[in-house]
Amino acid sequence: DNFKIVNDTYGHDAGDELLVSIADRLVKFTRPGDIVGRLGGDEFVVLSEYVDSDETVIKIAQRINEVMRKPFNSSNRIVYISASIGMAIGHGSTHSAEDLLRNSDAAMYMAKEHGRDGWYLFSSQIYENLVQKISITNGLKTAIELNEFHLVYQPVVATNSKIIKGAESLLRWNRAEGPVSPAYFIPLAELSGDIVSIGRWVFREACKTIARIQGEFQSNTPYTSINVSTRQLNEDGIVAEFKAILKETGAKPENIVIEITETSLMTDVHKNILVLNELADLGMRIAVDDFGTGYSSLLQLLKMPLSIIKIDREFIDGLDKKPQSRAITSAVTKMASVMDKKTIAEGVENEAQLFELQAQGCDMIQGFYFYRPMAVDEYIELLQNQKVSDTNDKPKVYTVIYVSRASESLTHNNIQEILEVARKRNAELCITGFLIFNNGYFMQFLEGRKEFIDTLLEKIVNDRRHDNVRIILSTFNKKRLFTDWTMGYWNMRDAGSEIDFSTWQKQTFNLLEISNDAKLCYAFFEAISSKKLS
Ligand code: C2E
Ligand code: CA
Ligand code: CA
């Protein structure tokens, strides 16, 4: 595995030396009588005869994996590598040498696909995968000619108004044998290089649709996004080609968004920046797809001409389940708004997810909760029937501020205990906020879904530790004020601990007194939320 890196980093002499050491180890750790050979490059073959069961070869493979992990000494450097091993068992009367080599090769690819440094034994399942892959790869070469491709469109809506802002074009392949998922065939088309001609077909087809929509909606044309893979970006002349297609179809670049996955953006940052800048100069917008899965450097991201960030489905899926996912979506949304970029949440499937995204201020939504990908005619009909109105949905985050008197004299530890329980429960119920304690009084800011907040308030009113609960403010808000998924806490006594106020203290700051002015209370929390005191 990764032999190329050794070659590229330390030079070919070091690489050759390493190959010799690997061969030595292979000879030493296979069985006496086994044959070890080098097929070429970084591929070795072990031929074992008289194998009575799978166990025998599996043991050999495990041993080889183990000894390959041990450090190698090459040109006085310590080098670490690993091996991906594929195995096939056969009898001379039924299997040719080619059969065994091809089958073990297929098994080796399984080992590589599953994270390297491991082994796979060839099986009928691997065989079927292999045959399937070959059939798909071959089929892709003639799919355009045979008219087997078409595009579907999945609408993207504005989070608050639910108005359709655009749609993503998604490729569909219906071959005689049945439909094949793009998640399966796109990676194969990337491997074989056919993605270049397929991508060109997709771009032209989407542009034709865009021209059609423009004809009907003029300056109100929603955008259409087109997925482009890095293999396409690396093709010389892609910009000229896109330009020619724009001219040919009449699609306007301002109605086009190019989607590129975060992972592929990061593969060749310098080259990608150049091409993306050219595309952006034409007037198209660029979206980073599957954001959050690609470990991109923020600095490099800032250098790219990106307009839209599409938050990966994985995080949306966790929104109503995992506080970590909420922390990530909220951080991405905030970062995007600071960087003046729009966010789209992908794969929204239920109300709870939508609610959280609304509360966090995410701009747009794409997902089965609103629309599934649909045929082009259906999409255009949907656009025609969409009432053009700007009436935004009622903002949905319910916000409450209350003041109560702490009935017992609570110690620091008591309060921490209360907070611990509250934080856990609130994270489950998607409630955020802030608690202030001062001179025996609580003032708390709570926000979330109304039904959850109401239940919580009822609990607080009945809680022996709170006396005279007085609700100062209860209202719907557009966005959350506090987006951190833990209840912030501030004991006012600690707040002033750095500065000595004792000489100034003519009048004590009193939560009960400021509770007479709801606006002041709100402004107070707003200040805390922007300062992020906790
Ligand atoms: P993608 O770019 O992330 O596209 C979004 C995928 O998520 C689509 O799957 C869409 O149907 C699916 N999706 C949308 N909303 C939901 C939801 O609420 N729940 C669930 N479970 N799924 C949802 P699809 O169409 O199967 O496409 C899969 C992938 O294939 C795409 O992922 C994209 O990477 C690739 N692909 C599709 N069309 C093209 C194309 O024309 N060119 C290139 N290069 N890649 C394409
Ligand atoms: Ca996409
Ligand atoms: Ca995506």
Q: Encode pLDDT of 237-250 as tens digits.
A: 999 999 999 999 99
Instruction: Tell which atom from ligand 1 comes closest to the C-alpha of 170.
Output: 38
**Ligand 1 touching residue 144 (CB < 6 A):** no
* 506: confidence class by pLDDT, cuts 50, 70, 90: low
Beta-carbon-side half-sphere exposure of residue 491 (alpha carbons within 13 Å): 14
Which DSSP helix (H) or strand (E) runs through 212?
Answer: helix 195-217
For the cut 80, the answer to whether the pLDDT of residue 335 exceeds it is yes
Contacts of 295 (CB under 8 A, 6+ apart): 266
Mean residue pLDDT across the chain: 90
Atom 10 of ligand 1, nearest CA residue: 373
Query: Other C-beta atoms within 10 Å of 475: how many?
Result: 12
* 533: confidence class by pLDDT, cuts 50, 70, 90: very low
Dihedral of alpha carbons 132, 135, 138, 139, sign = negative
* 162: confidence class by pLDDT, cuts 50, 70, 90: very high
Q: Indicate which ligand has the atom closest to the C-alpha of 311.
A: 3
For the cut 80, the answer to whether the pLDDT of residue 91 exceeds it is yes
Over residues 345-354, the pLDDT tens digits come to 999 999 999 9
Atom 28 of ligand 1, nearest CA residue: 183
Query: Other C-beta atoms within 10 Å of 104: how many?
Result: 23
Q: Measure 284 CA to ligand 3 centroid, in angstroms.
A: 19
pLDDT at site 307: 96
| % pLDDT > 90, the chain | 64
The structure's pTM equals 0.76
What six digits make up the tokens of 307?
Answer: 């307009």
Instruction: Tell which atom from ligand 1 comes closest to the C-alpha of 290.
Output: 3
Q: Is residue 333 packed enough to be buried (19+ CB in 10 Å), middle (13-18) or exposed (0-12)? A: buried
Distance of alpha carbon 188 from alpha carbon 115, whole angstroms: 18
Length of the chain equals 534
Within the chain, what is the greatest distance between any pair of CA atoms? 102
* 507: confidence class by pLDDT, cuts 50, 70, 90: low
- Whose CA is closest to 184, among 140, 215, 154, 123? 140
Helix (H, G, I), strand (E, B) or coil at 312: coil
**Ligand 1 touching residue 7 (CB < 6 A):** no
Which DSSP helix (H) or strand (E) runs through 303?
Answer: helix 298-303
Helix (H, G, I), strand (E, B) or coil at 106: helix
Q: What angle do CA 490, 493, 494 make, to 5 degrees?
A: 65
Contact criterion met (CB below 8 Å) for 296 and 266: yes
Over residues 263-296, the pLDDT tens digits come to 888 888 888 999 999 999 999 999 999 998 877 6
Q: Measure 372 CA to ligand 3 centroid, in angstroms.
A: 14
Instruction: Tell which atom from ligand 1 comes closest to the C-alpha of 190.
Output: 44
**Ligand 1 touching residue 170 (CB < 6 A):** yes
pLDDT at site 504: 63
Distance of alpha carbon 186 from alpha carbon 173, whole angstroms: 10
User: SS3 breakdown of the chain: % helix, strand, coil, rounded to 5?
Assistant: 50, 25, 30
Q: Indicate which ligand has the atom closest to the C-alpha of 293.
A: 3
Q: Is residue 437 packed enough to be buried (19+ CB in 10 Å), middle (13-18) or exposed (0-12)? A: buried
Q: Measure 141 CA to ligand 1 centroid, in angstroms.
A: 21
What six digits make up the tokens of 248?
Answer: 């040919």
Distance of alpha carbon 278 from alpha carbon 423, whole angstroms: 49
Instruction: Tell which atom from ligand 1 comes closest to the C-alpha of 366.
Output: 15
Instruction: Tell which atom from ligand 1 comes closest to the C-alpha of 182.
Output: 30
Q: Measure 113 CA to ligand 3 centroid, in angstroms.
A: 21
pLDDT at site 301: 80
Over residues 181-217, the pLDDT tens digits come to 999 999 999 999 999 999 999 999 999 999 999 999 9
In angstroms, the first-to-last Cα distance of the chain is: 47
Q: Measure 523 CA to ligand 2 centroid, in angstroms.
A: 41
**Ligand 1 touching residue 182 (CB < 6 A):** yes
Q: Measure 178 CA to ligand 3 centroid, in angstroms.
A: 24
Q: How far out from the chain centre does Cα 197 lie?
A: 27
What six digits make up the tokens of 336?
Answer: 């995007």
Query: Other C-beta atoms within 10 Å of 114: how many?
Result: 11
DSSP character for 116? Answer: S
DSSP character for 255? Answer: G
What six digits make up the tokens of 92?
Answer: 């001379």
**Ligand 1 touching residue 373 (CB < 6 A):** yes
Q: Measure 227 CA to ligand 1 centroid, in angstroms.
A: 9
Out of 136, 150, 173, 186, mutate this one to test ligand 1's pocket (max ligand atoms within 8 Å of CB): namely 186
Better pLDDT: 371 or 76: 371
Residue by residue, DSSP assigns 385-432 as HS-----PPPP-EEEEEEEEEESS---HHHHHHHHHHHHHHHHHHT-E
Q: What is the 3-state secondary structure (H, E, C) of 220-253?
A: HCCEEEEECCHHHHCCCCHHHHHHHHHHHHCCCH
Mean pLDDT of the region 96-122: 93
Q: Measure 149 CA to ligand 1 centroid, in angstroms.
A: 15
Atom 42 of ligand 1, nearest CA residue: 227
Mean pLDDT of the region 21-40: 93
**Ligand 1 touching residue 118 (CB < 6 A):** no
Out of 154, 170, 181, 353, mutate this one to test ligand 1's pocket (max ligand atoms within 8 Å of CB): namely 170
Q: Indicate which ligand has the atom closest to the C-alpha of 368.
A: 1
pLDDT at site 534: 40
pLDDT at site 269: 83
Distance of alpha carbon 424 from alpha carbon 401, whole angstroms: 20
What six digits make up the tokens of 462?
Answer: 């009945």
DSSP character for 185? Answer: H
